[in-house]
Amino acid sequence: MSTSEAETLLYGADPTPGIVAVEADARNVTVYTRVRDRIVSAPRELRPWLVAERETDLPNARWSALAGEGYAFIAEFDDWSDWLEARQRLTAAGADHFAYSSPVRHYLTRSGETLFKGMSFEDLRRLQLDIETVGLSPREEGARLLLVALADNTGWSAVLDGTEEDLLRQLSEILRERDPDVIEGHNIFGFDLPFLAGRAERHAVSLLWGRDGSPLRFGRQRQCAIGGRRRPFVPAYVHGRHIIDTMLGVQRFDAQAAQLEGYGLKASAQQLGLSEPNRISVEVTEMAREWRERPDDVREYARQDVIETGRLAAHVMPTDFYLSQMVPEPYQEVAVSGVGEKINALLVREHLRQGVALARPQSARSFPGGYVEVRRIGVISPVIKVDVESLYPNIMLTEGIAPRSDTLGVFLPMLRELTKRRLEAKEESRRAAGLDQLRWEGIQSSFKVLINSFYGYLGASFLFNDYEAAERVTRRGQDLVRQIAHRIEASGGQVIEIDTDGVYLKPPERVRGEAAERAYVEEIAAALPKGIRLVHDGRYRAMLSLKAKNYAAVGYDGRRLVRGAALRSRADEPFGREFLAAAIDFLLDHDRKGLSGLYRRLLGEALAGQIPIERLARRERVTEKTFSSPAKRRQAEVARGVPIGDYVTVYQRADGSLARLEDYAGDEDSAYYADRLYRFALRLGDAVGPDFESLFPRPSARSARQASAGQKSLDFD
């Protein structure tokens, strides 16, 4: 494949640089382009389209044939209303067809244009927004907008206060003056924008934020793809600009690593090393009092919020920015859509460009997944991890596995080109420094995201899926990883856990030190087929193996790696998470006496009601099931009045009911929380072994009475 062909395949046929936004109305598109420090807008013609298996009599449709089978006819229209009517007719008639619901995606797909060509992430004009309020709902009694904090990536910042009307008007004026391409905020979809809109409606003030002078508007609830999960949110739109919610961005960033304990602004910034120095703390639930008593601290608190939001965006969003240079979607859409959808968009664009029919997706069926097995449980040391680099993509490339419906033959060339470019970008990143290094790291990460999803695309409900091809990939992957495990054990090593493309193992006694470990991995890799690379992917002083995908390891530098909900889950109460974290350390250090002492001390505190309620209370997300599921009747009681998608922090009372943290009255169920601690300990049972009951005695009714009476020495079952 030539360089120009590869550029067209990955980036689209139109090389126009500097496009920062595309907006559409019924008949036209407006393209906003950054030319030096100016934004230039230009009109373009919108020609909505759809593809179908056969021509159908539709008003004002111009049909033409595409080569091949499947969706082999394309209809184009001059007006969006004609397209809407045509789609409604096809849907009502049950006629199979394919089209996007966004007119901007129609235009980008057919024009070959994409956003941000020739730009780096630093070239974007990004503005961060955060508000401080009295109340969490704009319509509750006493609700008020106190402050609006703003900053952008030029170093400018401002904290606005005054009457609500003045604040809302100032905000619109500043947005027009600063003219950002992107508005960023942490939970901006969930809180800031709905609150601002509600207060603006209350005061009859229009939030005229668009580049064309139009107001902020809201869409219908949709889903944000976060790894294998989806989170509902209500998007908002500003003409000519993109809105990025860094809370969603942080969750997507952490979807694979799962290393962050929380996704709030302060917690995320702190865990990623992005916090402002001398971070000010303000009690948000007492904001009215805080504002009266320490207004300067509240202003600085708000300023620090937007500074940290900007840093978070710069840390987690470049991948989506560089994906927007390839994928025919707006940046705001790229930031919430799944990766399979992005690959689909690239394939659709190229097939239509070459006049080739789109495939009809295969019906879903099951097929084998990755090979997962735990062979050793307990504390093992030393440990190394080996990883088959890009196992599934490399199997597809080396064995030529592609969807049968890709008659154009672009699936594997696209994967091969992305792989080549990623290696080149990684090399550039290693050689670069400063902003250049950040740019290359963002580029290689965007390639990596796509590469790692080509296999998943085969086995999902996309146009060019192929379940047989997906099964061939997984079966070959299972064969290879079993082969690796066999060679490890034949050479004297001990396999601890196998997970799809990686193996944790205890090396043979003869292998000591990092250099020897790397040589050993090369020895194991020597028999693998060409194109399949086994790499040394980590070394650990000790590992706690519990069950499949649930383990903890500590490196020689003291850093811990913890995986799996049994050892760390955000759904657990804080005291349970703290216990498990400390218990892991004791186990990895082979300190069973210290482990038992920790448990007994916490158990006594739980029974005596000495653990602070903030550590006992659990944060729960309110969903539709909260109110519809009979099993969640207790949660529904405390969640009444809380919007779906928001969170409520609850604890269990002595009478067995749930209550909100803010309603705490010294009435927690101490026996329940003592039992909860025991159940946290039970998660470690298989790794602890036969000593479990002596290390972790179960609380009894008698021990609860003794604790309530103030006895320090307790009896257990």
DSSP string, 649-680: EEEEBTTS-EEEGGG--S-B-HHHHHHHHHHH
Residue that is last in its domain, among 322, 346, 376: 322
In a domain, 242, yes or no: yes
Backbone φ and ψ for 499, nearest 5 degrees, come out as -140, 90
Q: Specify the pLDDT at position 124.
A: 96
**Closest alpha carbon to 690 in 445, 381, 377:** 377
Residue that is last in its domain, among 517, 547, 568: 568
Check whether residue 277 and residue 389 sit in a common domain: no
- Mean pLDDT over residues 12-28, rounded? 96
**Closest alpha carbon to 696 in 608, 586, 592:** 592
Is the pLDDT confidence value at 715 over 80? no
Q: Specify the pLDDT at position 569.
A: 86
- Mean pLDDT over residues 79-91, rounded? 96
649-679: pLDDT as tens digits: 999 999 999 999 989 999 999 999 999 999 9
CA geometry: angle 99, 105, 111, nearest 5 deg: 105
Check whether residue 593 and residue 698 sit in a common domain: yes
* Number of separate domains in the chain: 3
- Mean pLDDT over residues 425-452, rounded? 92
- Mean pLDDT over residues 432-454, rounded? 92
Its pTM stands at 0.88
Q: Specify the pLDDT at position 638.
A: 86
Check whether residue 558 and residue 591 sit in a common domain: no
Is the pLDDT confidence value at 233 over 90? yes
In a domain, 38, yes or no: no
In a domain, 502, yes or no: yes
Q: Specify the pLDDT at position 645.
A: 67
In a domain, 300, yes or no: yes
**Closest alpha carbon to 194 in 242, 230, 143:** 143
In a domain, 80, yes or no: no
Check whether residue 168 and residue 127 sit in a common domain: yes
**Closest alpha carbon to 245 in 294, 180, 319, 316:** 316
The dihedral over CA atoms of 59, 61, 66, 71, expressed in degrees to the nearest 10, equals -40
Could you give the CA distance from residue 649 to residue 620 in angstroms, rounded to a whole number? 6
Backbone φ and ψ for 138, nearest 5 degrees, come out as -70, -15
Pairing verdict, β 647-652 and 618-621: antiparallel
252-271: pLDDT as tens digits: 998 877 778 778 899 899 99
Is the pLDDT confidence value at 183 over 90? yes
Quick check: 112 and 325 in contact, CB under 8 A? Answer: no
Check whether residue 281 and residue 162 sit in a common domain: yes
Q: Specify the pLDDT at position 140.
A: 87
In a domain, 608, yes or no: yes
Check whether residue 236 and residue 139 sit in a common domain: yes
Q: Specify the pLDDT at position 388.
A: 93
3-state secondary structure of 589: coil
Q: Specify the pLDDT at position 369.
A: 86
Residue that is last in its domain, among 568, 594, 619: 568
Classify 689 in phi/psi space as left (phi over 0), alpha (psi -120 to 50) or beta. left
Residues 6+ apart with CB under 8 A from 296: none
Check whether residue 574 and residue 563 sit in a common domain: no
In a domain, 181, yes or no: yes
Residues 6+ apart with CB under 8 A from 421: 10, 447
Q: Specify the pLDDT at position 704.
A: 53
Is the pLDDT confidence value at 717 over 60? no
Q: What is the CATH number of the domain that holds 604?
A: 1.10.132.60
Question: Domain range for residue 581?
Answer: 569-708
Q: Tell me, what amino acid is at 484? A: I
Q: What is the CATH number of the domain that holds 542?
A: 3.90.1600.10
In a domain, 105, yes or no: no
Check whether residue 697 and residue 549 sit in a common domain: no
Check whether residue 578 and residue 689 sit in a common domain: yes
Rounded to the nearest integer, the mean pLDDT of the chain is 93
Per DSSP, the residues of 34-79 read EETTEEEEEEEE---EEEESS----TT-EEEE-BSSSB-EEEE-SS
Which of 486 and 711 is assigned the larger pLDDT?
A: 486
Check whether residue 159 and residue 206 sit in a common domain: yes
469-513: pLDDT as tens digits: 999 999 999 999 999 999 999 999 999 999 999 999 999 999 999
Backbone φ and ψ for 196, nearest 5 degrees, come out as -60, -45
Q: Tell me, what amino acid is at 678? A: Y
Tokens, residue 327: 């994928």
Check whether residue 591 and residue 678 sit in a common domain: yes
Check whether residue 590 and residue 611 sit in a common domain: yes
596-605: pLDDT as tens digits: 999 999 999 9
